[in-house]
Structure 1
């Protein structure tokens, strides 16, 4: 399986490309509309002789990325339920298994950051968007975020995965592009050894939309 990670510096956004060389099919996770990334992604697909069949969005804010079908003709765009779904985008549900040639990508609903937030599990890797920031916790100012659901999603959907599962986030504000479930469960100061009530009482709501809090003081 071909794997490539992309970084868009303006918003510190992470995107991913998975390609199955056996079938020639590929999926992109959270691709950015930035012209440079679009050209690079198209070039990689051509170089690897891959057809982009699916675009998997971990979440959207306010207006879903309706331009993506035009940027990547022939690719079906998938989003989670709970938000506004334009007719041309397909909604996926928790537990759904997506076939990419010989590979399987599993949908894990992780609402909280937004109502439609989902994560995608492929082999030993979880692509979680803004459901789980590495060493931090993502927030939104526009009223979409539900801290209680976010905590439940992290604890009951992500932290139950094996320790060695690789975590690939939606943003890199910390200079880190990958972690593991075990490391985040033990060391992430927003979640490690914190009850749901403690998390809700300390959740910082006033951070720029889409931003990630780097530090949360840990009290004895």
Structure 2
């Protein structure tokens, strides 16, 4: 198995490259649509002898699909709700399974950050985008963010996974790049012993403008 984590210091965004053992097929998760970042990824693929079979997106912002389609013209794009775009785009939903060199990648619907956010479970690794922030809750996405659905996604769909599942987020917000389901379930202050209503209240408080120097950790 090959696994590589990428970090963009400008946006704190995390992206990933994974390849099953013994083959040349590879999958990218939430790759940066910046041309320079794409060049680095393509150089790594060539160096390793990998063929990029799919790009998995946990969520979509603005013209991200179009930009990725331009940078990776031969690679299918997978997302929760891509626009009509012919065979290049594949919409996935809860319960779908993607195969890469006979390795299954399970799709988990995790709406909240956006209405069609999804997470991907590959072996013991969960790629959750902004559905779950390590030590907190996912980043807001304007008016389309739904904290109630975010709570349901995390508590009812992610926290039911085994404790040992590794959690890889969409952003490095607190200086952490990996956690486990068990740790987040037991220690994440945004979800620990909180009801759905209490979570929504705390989430909305977090989104309100704060005075300079204010800290809101929980």
TM-score in same-fold range (> 0.5): yes
Q: Cα deviation per residue 1:127-186 (whole Å; 9 max; x = unaligned)?
A: 000000000112325211001000000001100000010000000021100000000001
Provide closer, same or farther for how the CA distance between residues 207 and 36 of structure 1 changes in structure 2, counting only shifts above 3 A: farther
Provide closer, same or farther for how the CA distance between residues 206 and 2 of structure 1 changes in structure 2, counting only shifts above 3 A: same
1:190 aligned residue:
190
Structure 1 residue 156 and structure 2 residue 156: aligned? yes
2:207 aligned residue:
205
Please report the TM-score for the alignment, with normalisation by the length of structure 1: 0.90
Please report the TM-score for the alignment, with normalisation by the length of structure 2: 0.90
1:10 aligned residue:
10
Give the 3-state SS of the residue equivalent to 2:7 in structure 1.
strand
Size of the alignment, in residue pairs?
Answer: 210
Q: Cα deviation per residue 1:175-198 (whole Å; 9 max; x = unaligned)?
A: 100000000001111101111111
1:167 aligned residue:
167
Higher helix fraction (1 or 2): 2
- Which runs of 4 or more aligned residues in structure 1 lie more than 3 Å from their structure 2 counterparts after TM superposition? none
Instruction: Quote how far apart the aligned CAs of 1:126 are.
Output: 0.2
Structure 1 residue 107 and structure 2 residue 107: aligned? yes
Instruction: Quote how far apart the aligned CAs of 1:34 are.
Output: 2.5
Give the 3-state SS of the residue equivalent to 1:70 in structure 2.
helix
- Larger CA deviation: 38-47 vs 51-60: 38-47
Provide closer, same or farther for how the CA distance between residues 94 and 147 of structure 1 changes in structure 2, counting only shifts above 3 A: same
Provide closer, same or farther for how the CA distance between residues 133 and 93 of structure 1 changes in structure 2, counting only shifts above 3 A: same
Q: Which runs of 5+ in 1 are unaligned?
A: none
